[in-house]
Structure 1
Amino acid sequence: MSFIERIDTVCIKVRNIEESSLWYQEKLGFKVVYQGLSYRVLSIGDSSVPLTIEQDNDKTSTSNQTYPIFFTKNIKETYQSLKEKGVSCGEIQIDGVNNFFDFYDADGNKLQVCFWE
């Protein structure tokens, strides 16, 4: 039996905690459930795993970075909604039963959304 019980949160480093917090709320509809001095914990729909954004003033590169993959029931509608909100999005990819696309937050952090049945 593992001593690790679950994933508690996924953390993304950002340059400006206030601007990033607003971006995630306005563009993705996430809700702030806890505020620390240099971080915010955001709830994501019905998920039990929140997203934590944390201020990092020394952030210089987003390459080779872990990224969250969000799930949606309607990939095309989600894609269109993000594009209409001015979010930078890659094209929808189809890999067998998995449909997904990358998109980027205000700090250039890669995020991904997927749909599968």
Structure 2
Amino acid sequence: MKHSLIRVGTIYLPVQEVGKSAVWYKEKLGADINYQDNQKAIVDLADISIFLVKAAPGQTSNFLEEDGSERFAITFEVDGKEALKALQKQLKDKGVKVGDIEDRGHPGLNFVFEDINGNRLDVWSELSPAYRG
């Protein structure tokens, strides 16, 4: 293939209150708020621009798997199992709704957490090859 996709540059997440959500991402996850108006906020986190977009009530980025379980649409990466455990504790200490660390049968470990809008976000203890030093 002559041309190929290089990276994900922007992710859109539905939110109920733009300002409150932007502050949550800044305080809980360390995101930088780069723009904000009544309909959206642009936050930079993990080398991605995340647009927090005012959505209809009850909207989230989650979806249901065939078996009915709710699934996340985004997985963040950290560098190793100790970093994963430390982040899980840090988020818990900040009052974030955080799931247990899971072994899903592939390399590394994961856990899921939720933002204040109910968007489920995943964290994996393995870095993609492009980010390994």
Report the counterpart of residue 101 of structure 1 in structure 2.
111
Find 1:86's aligned residue among 90, 95, 101: 95
Contact 2:72–2:119, Cα closer than 8 Å, also in 1? no
Report the counterpart of residue 49 of structure 2 in structure 1.
50
Identity of aligned residues (%): 25
SS of residue matched to 1:21? helix
Find 2:77's aligned residue among 60, 71, 76: 71
Deviation at 1:111, TM superposition (A): 0.8
Q: Between Structure 1 and Structure 2, whose CA radius of gyration is higher?
A: 2
Change (3 A) 1:36 1:8: farther
Contact 1:98–1:115, Cα closer than 8 Å, also in 2? yes
Deviation at 1:29, TM superposition (A): 0.6
Count of residues in correspondence between the two structures: 114
After superposition, the CA RMSD in angstroms is: 2.1
Deviation at 1:67, TM superposition (A): 2.3
Unaligned ranges ≥5, structure 1: none
Q: Which amino acid aligns with 1:50?
A: S
Find 1:60's aligned residue among 53, 58, 61: 58
Measured in 1, the distance between the counterparts of 2:102 and 2:72 equals: 19
Deviation at 1:61, TM superposition (A): 4.2
Q: Which amino acid aligns with 1:98?
A: G
Unaligned ranges ≥5, structure 2: 64-70, 128-133
Measured in 2, the distance between the counterparts of 1:10 and 1:61 equals: 15
Measured in 2, the distance between the counterparts of 1:66 and 1:78 equals: 18
